[in-house]
Amino acid sequence: MKAITAMAVCGIMVLSHAGSVLGAETPHAGKAVTIVAFGDSTTAPRGTLQVYADCLRRDLPGKGINAKIINAGVGGNTTAAANARFEKDVLGRHPDLVIIQFGINDSAVDVWKKPPATASRVAKVQYRENLECFVDALREKGCKVILMTPNPLRWTLGLKGQYGKPPYRPDDADGFNVTLSPYVDCMRAVAKNKKVPLVDVYAAFQSYGKVKGQSVDDLLLDGMHPNDRGHRLVADLLIKAMLKQNTTGNH
């Protein structure tokens, strides 16, 4: 969650009524569709970890979708930093579908700084505007979009040492999500208002953790990033979304 600053360029599971989020003709088309995964370190390649983009690359052909998967995740990115590379890393790839997931870095309050930060790295209103800018720009190009909420966080000893002070609540198991939760709601609101498909990763992880014998920690590598099991869950939600029929449009 290292801070990154950049100039801005742009001053549940539902899919296209055309058949799928990629279009009715996609599963049987010979030409590969281009899918860009646009996000932060929860999207970016991570050593030998099978991140959700890797799972999609491996599994989509078996679902009848011929797809070229491009992982455009960058660790530490906020939506403001992502704006600065949006033209090159996303629009320049001429995608048919873009998966967008940001929020953990935008919402972070760097209480470890001296003096401590008192506000999130990117204000919620700016976060929303950045997401809307991405969606609008992609739609102008005729590109499909899926928005994803960020995954919830859990305390580790290291994270408590760095972030364990107000506004965070280190004595609460869910206390590392104090600043993140409003940004999750903002992502949901953008999806609803823009009529864009939403994969609610935050809700899915929380639901997983409510099952007896399971915990959100089971899905996380280090309290922040999904592990193999977490990414598998995300990929399964995305595949379900891509294949879902007769649902809300995304135009």
Q: What is the mean pLDDT of the chain?
A: 89
Distances (CA, A) of 245 to 23, 25, 136, 226, 236: 10, 12, 24, 28, 16
pLDDT (0 to 100) of residue 31:
82
Question: How confident is the model over 10-28, as a mean pLDDT?
Answer: 44
Q: Of 100, 80, 102, nearest to 90 (Cα)?
A: 100
Query: E-assigned strands of the chain?
Result: 33-39, 67-73, 97-101, 144-148, 198-199
Average pLDDT over residues 103-127: 97
| Contact between 73 and 90 (Cβ < 8 Å) | no
CATH number belonging to domain 26-243: 3.40.50.1110
pLDDT at 244 exceeding the cut of 60? yes
Peptide bond before 167: cis, by omega within 30 degrees of 0? Answer: yes
Query: Domain-by-domain residue ranges, the chain?
Result: 26-243
pLDDT for 223 equals: 98
**pLDDT score at 20:** 53
Q: Which of 7-16, 26-35, 55-64, 136-145 has the lowest mean pLDDT?
A: 7-16
Percent of the chain with pLDDT over 90: 84
Q: What mean pLDDT comes out for the span 66-73?
A: 97
**Looking at residue 201, what is its pLDDT?**
98
pLDDT in tens, 21-38: 665 444 444 689 999 999
Average confidence (pLDDT) over 89-102: 98
List, for residues 194-232, the tens digit of each pLDDT value.
999 999 999 999 999 999 999 999 999 999 999 999 999
Supply the pLDDT for residue 17.
Answer: 31
pLDDT at 26: 47
The per-residue pLDDT for 127 is 98
For residue 240, the Cα-to-chain-centroid distance in whole angstroms is 16
Residue 22: predicted pLDDT? 65
User: Are the beta carbons of 35 and 97 closer than 8 angstroms?
Assistant: yes
The answer to whether residue 61 scores a pLDDT higher than 90 is yes
- Residue 21 has a pLDDT of 63
- Residue 11 pLDDT: 47
Question: What is the average pLDDT across 50-71?
Answer: 96
